[in-house]
Structure 1
């Protein structure tokens, strides 16, 4: 399986991630990277790609202008250039979405193997995934991370929420499946959009963030004395972006107003990376926090470090575990990765009762819930935890044990099951012979190697007779198929029970319906069109030499006589007049039905006009690069691949794009 995660916003890179370096470089980046890392470790996974936007900025690391980063042997971060290489946020990113969508589709078209699924993070990525599904037939899963409809319920945001809610509504309605983190999202938030999601929505909690720690190196913990008069005191720790909904100023005011807390603990807040490409909202919130930090009441008791890295965060969690508490005072928190991260470090928590934290704390049992608008209540809860050694110890034990419920391997296994349920897996290959499998010795050899290593059922569908088809396959050292469809789809031959081959009597009987061979021949005879040798004819097929004008004349004559027949033109000179129930597509459908399959489950590969019906009707189609102009009218659609290689090498290329080749076949082709 090849999984593609799509996330447009923020500074996404190989860990450690620079959280808070921009307004939208938040916890969702940890979710995307950690999910992909663990999925890439699973047996049976071929490749995982995280696709994001390419940009260049003097204020941001140069890696974001690099087209690809190899994270592990099976995981890459791939960046798509939309033509605008500026770092963009929110409204500007929305304006760039059409250009990014086109660039992303070019990226998909250029891949050697198509992704089996796109996992879109946020509604902007879902909009791109919708178009990719339309063009390539790739199903997509949507994870919203934070839904605007709940922001509006909390009285947050402005007029822009209407546009965001509309985009989220479209994403929810279009997604093949949704993965959310909490029951609240699954049972209340998503249904509030008024879109039916029964059977499509799955609650799969993420795991504890994987944060690297350089043990033994100096961290912010070692420098708390730069801000604090008594750095030995327990700490109240908060980690969040400086935006209004995170409610950080309320925590500071609650701490400052409580003399017991002020005496027994210090407050430490990591509020992003100060400066850089922050939004106006972030600058306003950060300014308020800095003003509070400078007040006499908090001087020496409140640390607001301007910079931090992953090791600093890990070290501060460890410090908070020693008698302190982690605080999330958000007005509303969609999930709360920091709460399970704190739990894994053994840190009790005081958390908002709004959103995901209520479920997390109920699951783990490692803290207290508060009304985020009740500042005295926030202070009282913090005071209760740090002031009672027995309570702190019980909550700390519960944290370490209960955090095991949030496991990335469990998430990865569940997500893979969801992806797999969406995949339309090809179950049968039907291949033309002349100029599709033949024409290149190396290509034919590559196809033979593929066939040797594949269990996919394989049939040939050819205009030739049965004897001719077998002779040509032997001449080119091509493998015999599981069945032969010959005479332009008017005869099916299967292996007989005691050896040899036998015709499918049921299909032959079906072709008799509405077919008057003698009358068809009589209607065409006055046209004087040159007949092919009698040996090419069959009970349900008449064959001629001619051009497009002759084809039109035959169709007109049959229509005037009121006779039903299919007229097939191929290779610019061959005309076959078939029973109305005949043709390659009809024969493939009949054979597939015997296996419990439909045409949607089949791959057709061909190069000429007599392949047109099967290439159009099958769920998957491979048009080799040497195809005749007769296939130029074949409409682009999901599942149809026009290859860059000729003959059987093109078939192998198409199979590779569908993820169906063996390594040996791919190399040879």
Structure 2
């Protein structure tokens, strides 16, 4: 049994890694990962049971970088070294271009290891390129492999597509197929995969064919408790207090602190609404928001301008002047003081994000003695479970947010317990010392060979990405019968690796998410909202900004609203149903012009738009390039899923254009299906006699959909 003197080999190939003065932020390859592996090596070397740690990376002989990176062996301390290995090409090249040289790196790494007094007890690889090398070292030398992905190719591809990068460019620039194949191979060989959160396991790694949840362990990264600590009492004298003081009538009231970038997913507007709807909260506390850095709002991207404008309009709607501060900038040093200032005031830190993979700000708050209120999604669930220093909230429920914040502020004894728990538990769970303590417990049985991984039978999918997709609206389709909905969800979850699950709805994002969570419908791979004007990908709700740019063509929202305000029988729906690219009305057929007449009026006034009538009473005006059908086709092209492998399910007029053409379509039986009756003669549209989710299941069986998608024709 090798229980005392461990030799651990860490491999992190790309980026600029040296023992001192890391060049963080010099480029995309020299960031958090390089800092993480160096700090991990140092922390491991401090342990008595660790004999030696080698951090293996690429040798660089290149005039564009420091000579430090050409040193083949660089001591970090007495027990830890940086080992630089030649990959055949010793120039400094981006990680995406390393794939042709990784076999050379692996051969040279094996030669190095064979010349050591003994082989490592375990190999721990970081990122896909190191995983590829680690697989070869593990198989040839018989050393168990541990892996940390840091980021994953399948998730990154979705983010790139959402940002407007074409799929051909992604393959050319990022070698994505080679990367994903490397990740699959690593997962098929690694004895353990170490992640920062359980969400990474359940949502990101679950996209992979060789997904084995039993091989995965959550070990949160460490934070620097030297920088984040409880208040000292002098924080009221700080410059950051002066920057918020000018906004507030009573600046020394408890501070409700929110800190994030300008991003719709961060959900700051709902936090302001929660504050605005709760007079007691306004009486007892101030709201302080840091939402990115701005000099001039007009210099921000249009989407960020819209988010910031909505924040200001919400503050104005609830007349929160003198109660809300929103300074333009904050430095890293100021952030540390701001946590302590909020704690000194007896305040609370709030993270109301719609989705939160980890939540580093929550750990920093906890270490600073500041209780937290956070979204019941992803990382915060683990953090509050471990730290016992606050409450989870429903991020789509302003009343729940307000009530939980008020509860923290009013219960003074509990506030102090939360504050003390945060400071204590961060040191237990979220420092490098605690990280390494858990890490060594995870790898010990692997080294001892006392806990071998029993793998499940696994098969690679027919295509690199998804083979097909199910697209459904929400109302009258998924909702209505809990039993058949549960059966449909079971079917979808069983096929999730091969079949994308998509929602196409007239609802806004927040409204759609609220319904999905209420009925326990899993978050889809693609969420098409606001009648096809917005597209969001994956669990992270990454907005497809390229789609937004595409549909902006000839769109003049204010002109349309002004024009239609003169017509009888049209009443604007509440603001909660409106969005930048969707104007929604209640339609009274007894007095309103016919739908065709409304279309003609818009065209005569040079407003080229799509007019959509649904559920017998709702009229939506959207850009001419937008609709559920157009959005489905955009998604089909972006994700390389042929239209004849996409099943669309609808039941009202708003679904019509996504059911035409080459998609496999099923009309679910409901009282609004007559709006689609003109489609009854069109093949291959199938009219089910069953209602709600049962009608979708009927459609899946009618087309033999899952077997169709398994074929590779």
TM-score class normalised by the smaller sequence: 0.3 to 0.5
Q: In terms of Rg, which structure is larger?
A: 1
Q: How does the TM-score come out when normalised to structure 2?
A: 0.45
Higher RCO (CA 8 Å, separation ≥ 6 residues): 1
The normalised TM-score by structure 1 is 0.48
